[in-house]
Amino acid sequence: MSCERAAGRSCGASAKRGCSCAPETSNSTGWTTPARRGTQSILLTNKEFALLEHLMLNRGQCVSRVELLDSVWNLEPAQTTNIVDVYVNYLRRKLKDPPPGLLIRTVRGQGYVVPSEAELSLAATLTSPAGRPAAFGPVSELN
């Protein structure tokens, strides 16, 4: 998974990690930014993209909801809201990453983490094509 925007101006810190920015585009559904997962192009709202970008820039590290509220929404941590959880679920749907999430993992009581490439590779080798851990084998073998 990579957070890419179409070619354009530099994004500062994100440019150092392989992300590039383009001017926002508009369509009938609102402001969107193209992103890519493998060869698949995905349209994300600017907030969804900002959330994904922040998680990707902190890949392998747990990012708290408070930090996400501050950096993505510019909200005070004292404000109680579930907006981070809502947008993480929007991203999971668009990335086809159903809960509990392989690409965006929930760390209960702490926040969210996008695993490093090594962790994703390990998870892929331990998971069978049916989505079950390979160590347990097919369901028919458990009976």
pTM flag (> 0.85): no
Cis amide bond preceding 100, omega within 30: yes
Cα-based angle 58, 12, 37 (whole degrees, multiple of 5): 55
Count of structural domains within the chain: 1
Q: Measure the CA–CA gap between 114 and 59, rounded to whole angstroms.
A: 5
Indicate whether 142 belongs to any domain. no
Domain extent for 84: 13-131
Indicate whether 122 belongs to any domain. yes
Indicate whether 6 belongs to any domain. no
1: Cβ contacts below 8 Å, ≥ 6 apart: 37, 38, 56, 95, 103, 114
Indicate whether 136 belongs to any domain. no
Indicate whether 137 belongs to any domain. no
Alpha carbon distances (Å) from 40 to 71, 79, 96:
27, 36, 11
DSSP SS3 for 131 = coil
CATH of the domain at 91: 1.10.10.10
* Residue 34, pLDDT score: 84
How do the pLDDT tens digits run along the chain, 143 residues long?
A: 444 443 333 344 444 443 433 333 434 345 788 888 888 889 999 999 999 999 999 999 999 999 999 999 998 877 667 999 999 999 999 999 877 788 999 999 999 999 988 887 776 676 655 554 444 333 333 33
